[in-house]
Structure 1
Amino acid sequence: MNTWSTQHTFTPFALSTTDSLPELAMINLSDWGMVTLVGPDSKSYLQGQLTCDVVSLTADKSTFSGHCDAKGKLRTIMRVFHYQNGYGLVQRQSVMASQLPELKKYAVFSKTEITQTAAVVLGLAGAHAQATIDHHFNGDADVRHNDTTTVVKVDNERWLIITTAEHADTIITTLAPNAVYATTELWNLYDIKTAMPRIDSITELEFIPQAVNLQAVDGISFKKGCYTGQETVARAKYRGINKRAMYIVAGAATQCPQAGDALERSVGENWRKGGTVICGYQYSNNQAIALVVLPNDLDDDSQFRFADTPEALWHKLDLPYDLNAE
């Protein structure tokens, strides 16, 4: 029996709004999982399913991507990279049961095997994460491998670590013996601060890719050929039909906003539904921060609230990227 998760104690890392992030944290990403595609048709199959350009994805890079239904609504957002003899797709565990059968639907006509793996997915985060990876993994690529582990760069302070339950204890002990061992809430905070989109089961098939800023994080190719939902995605870009975007909002809160929660917005003296929470983080000093899909024409000083705490007003923060950049 593999007991890596009980040999190391991963706990919520309490942060207030004035605290610094830990210099190095090992994070148990138990709510993330990985799907693999192996076989000679895997590249072409994914090219016809995902929003990213799989054909141009080199072995040293990873990319965001979306998987849509025929109407262009997102089933999931994933990180795609070369893995072993095929591809790895890291996405939320909550969408696996509904999204994976859809990804497999036409695979019977292609030479590709699609499998939800039992891989252990960990995160390494903090100012020292890059130096730690550089010390233990050869090369300077954004995707690196050794005999037991694959590491994938997320941003300047984060890496995904993908290994097996058999080797997880050794990887954790070797890479980061002095790190903070944290649960997935800390990874959520990083995702919110960097405005990285995700889809959970409760938000599945609710948004087109541009409504969660997938184009702003290079998760959509507008030059590749057809893929499922492509017509809607292209129309949103070239005809301006998309009226929503994902923003960072912050405010007072006594509990953590959850994916799918509704945020109200002020309209004169009234309030109406303004948006949907994608991910939230609760600080220790009764403040919270969240990613929320909102109308993309709201004023920067718009006010928001949750219906169950109407006295606590929320506001938008600046995004770390330009939604209008080409």
Structure 2
Amino acid sequence: MTNIVSLSKFAVIKLSGEQSHSFLQGQVTCNVDDISKRDWQAGAHCNAKGKAWSTFVAFEQDNDIYLIMTKESAEPSLAELNKYGVFSKTEISDDSSNWHLYGTTEAHSELKSIELAPNHFLILSRQMIDGCEQDDGSWWYNEVMSGRAHLFANTSGEYVPQMINLQALNYISFNKGCYMGQEMVARMRYLGKNKRALYIAEIDGKYELTPGHDVYKAMNGNRRSAGKVINSAFFNGKTVFQLVLPNDTDLTDTIYLDSENDEQLRLLPLPYSLEQD
């Protein structure tokens, strides 16, 4: 296995028990029945207003369901799931200590391998893998460029799934029935209420900006906040960003990293279409 890196930002939530599937079906945006039919399934966990606590990829093993999400978004998601899980025959726990997560460019037949994008894998192991790299910049660079959004402390609970393009990556089932926040998510689709979207941008050099950092656009001679950073990564001399901006933003628009300095981001085409079926 080549180019394997240790990924320290992720947590694993485990659901076990005879009502785990039915319980989770009423909590998340994806069709939980698809988790057992496929190698993995992506989804989001929202609050009652339809804003995502977390985004995740899920898989099933030995009748248990595992949700992989960032550690920072796992904290509110775990608390919310446990709040409602007490009414179902399901046990919900942080199972992170039983897993080691890695990123690589190829699958591994002996480990749980999730291909998030071509030649871009998330893998899970019960045992620590010796000799892996600790610098995960290259893996996160590819993850940012894939347009797949992850949420962190400052962005958890801030965005309806369509504001971070989750509909384009099969995170949302629009025919599965009711779940937490479903009314708002459906309204975004069928009534055209969404005014924001996720964009990808790059800049030469290394810039360390935390999720939730404002980016700016020149308006009437002043710079005003145009949106926020969702995620970023540095690799091979460039920093790439995921940004939430007004969804009418043009790729030729000038976006500034700061309200005063002149560092400009180059907006890039998305690797998927946002057109609705």
Q: Which residue of 1 aligns with 2:104?
A: 125
Q: How far 1:309 moved relative to its partner?
A: 6.1
Matches within 5 A, 1:55-204: 55-117=33-95, 118-126=97-105, 129-130=106-107, 133=108, 136-137=109-110, 149-164=111-126, 167-168=127-128, 172-173=129-130, 181-204=133-156
User: Where does the alignment leave 5 or more consecutive residues of structure 2 unmatched?
Assistant: none
Q: Which residue of 1 aligns with 2:267?
A: 316
Q: How far 1:41 moved relative to its partner?
A: 0.4
* Deviations, residues 34-86 of structure 1 (Å, cap 9, x unaligned): 00101110110010000000023334421111100000011000101112321
Q: Which residue of 2 aligns with 1:38?
A: 16
Identical columns (%):
31
* Deviations, residues 150-183 of structure 1 (Å, cap 9, x unaligned): 333322212222223xx21xxx24xxx6xx6243
* Deviations, residues 189-244 of structure 1 (Å, cap 9, x unaligned): 11111111111111011100000001011000001100000000000000011100
For the residue of structure 1 that corresponds to 2:133, the secondary structure is strand
Q: Which residue of 1 aligns with 2:190?
A: 238
Q: Which residue of 1 aligns with 2:244?
A: 293
State the distance in 2 between where 1:308 and 1:274 align. 10
Deviating beyond 4 angstroms after TM superposition, the runs of 4 or more aligned structure 1 residues are none
State the distance in 2 between where 1:65 and 1:255 align. 29
The two structures have a TM-score, normalised by structure 1, of 0.79
For the residue of structure 1 that corresponds to 2:50, the secondary structure is coil
Specify the structure having the higher radius of gyration (Cα). 1
The two structures have a TM-score, normalised by structure 2, of 0.93
1:221 counterpart (173, 176, 184): 173
State the distance in 2 between where 1:291 and 1:229 align. 24
Please tell me whether the aligned partners of residues 104 and 123 of structure 2 are also in contact (alpha carbons under 8 angstroms).
no
Q: Which residue of 1 aligns with 2:257?
A: 306
For the residue of structure 1 that corresponds to 2:154, the secondary structure is helix
Please tell me whether the aligned partners of residues 253 and 312 of structure 1 are also in contact (alpha carbons under 8 angstroms).
no
State the distance in 2 between where 1:38 and 1:279 align. 31
Aligned length: 276
Q: How far 1:124 moved relative to its partner?
A: 3.4
User: Where does the alignment leave 5 or more consecutive residues of structure 1 unmatched?
Assistant: 1-22, 138-148
Please tell me whether the aligned partners of residues 257 and 290 of structure 1 are also in contact (alpha carbons under 8 angstroms).
no
What do you get for the CA RMSD once the two structures are aligned? 1.9
